[in-house]
C-alpha cells in the first residue's frame, strides 16, 4: 500500500536524521528548515510555512530554537518592516556539511537498486501527488467555509 510505505519511509528517515545529528541537538523539523534555507536565502516565516504547507506558529517555534542555537539570524525585511527575513548563520555551515553527508548516506542506501531514470520518474510522480493532495485539501477546506 503506497501511503503506508511512504509513511514508513518518512518516519524512518526522521529517526535516521535525528540519530545522526543527536550530538548536535538538532531535531528533524530544524533540519528540514535548515536544508530549505540552504537553497532559499533570506526567506520570511510566511514563505517557509507556505512552502511546507504548515502552520506559521510551528515554523516560528522551530525558528526560535534555531536562533537560540545561533544557526540562523533574523532581520527586518527592508521592503516590509512588519516581516523578518531568516538567514543561515556562519555557525550553521559545519552542521550543514554533516547533515548533507547523513542525507546522502540515507539516499544512497534507501534508493539502492533504483536507477537514476526510475528515481527521476518517482520524484515526478510524488510531486504530482503532493500537488493533487494540496488541491484536494484546499477544496475540502473551502467547502467547509
Backbone angles phi, psi at 55, to 5 degrees: -65, 140
CB atoms within 10 A of CB 50: 13
Give 3-6 contacts, CB < 8 A, sequence gap 24+.
6/126
This prediction has a pTM of 0.80
Mean pLDDT score of the chain:
90
42-93 pLDDT, tens digit each: 899 999 999 999 999 999 999 999 999 999 999 998 998 898 999 999 889 8
106-143 pLDDT, tens digit each: 999 999 999 999 999 999 999 999 999 999 988 655 55
Amino acid at each position: 500500500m503506497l501511503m503506508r510505505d511512504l509513511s514508513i519511509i518518512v518516519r524512518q528517515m526522521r529517526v535516521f536524521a535525528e540519530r545522526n545529528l543527536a550530538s548536535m541537538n538538532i531535531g528533524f523539523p530544524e533540519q528540514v528548515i535548515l536544508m530549505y534555507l540552504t537553497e532559499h536565502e533570506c526567506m520570511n516565516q510566511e514563505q517557509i510555512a507556505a512552502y511546507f504547507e504548515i502552520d506559521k506558529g510551528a515554523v516560528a517555534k522551530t525558528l526560535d530554537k534555531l536562533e537560540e542555537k545561533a544557526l540562523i539570524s533574523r532581520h527586518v525585511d527592508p521592503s516590509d518592516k512588519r516581516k523578518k527575513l531568516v538567514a543561515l548563520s556562519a555557525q550553521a555551515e559545519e552542521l550543514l556539511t554533516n547533515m548533507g553527508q547523513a542525507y546522502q548516506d540515507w539516499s544512497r542506501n534507501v534508493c539502492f537498486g533504483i536507477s537514476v531514470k526510475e528515481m527521476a520518474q518517482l520524484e515526478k510522480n510524488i510531486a504530482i501527488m503532493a500537488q493533487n493532495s494540496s488541491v484536494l485539501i484546499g477544496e475540502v477546506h473551502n467547502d467547509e467555509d
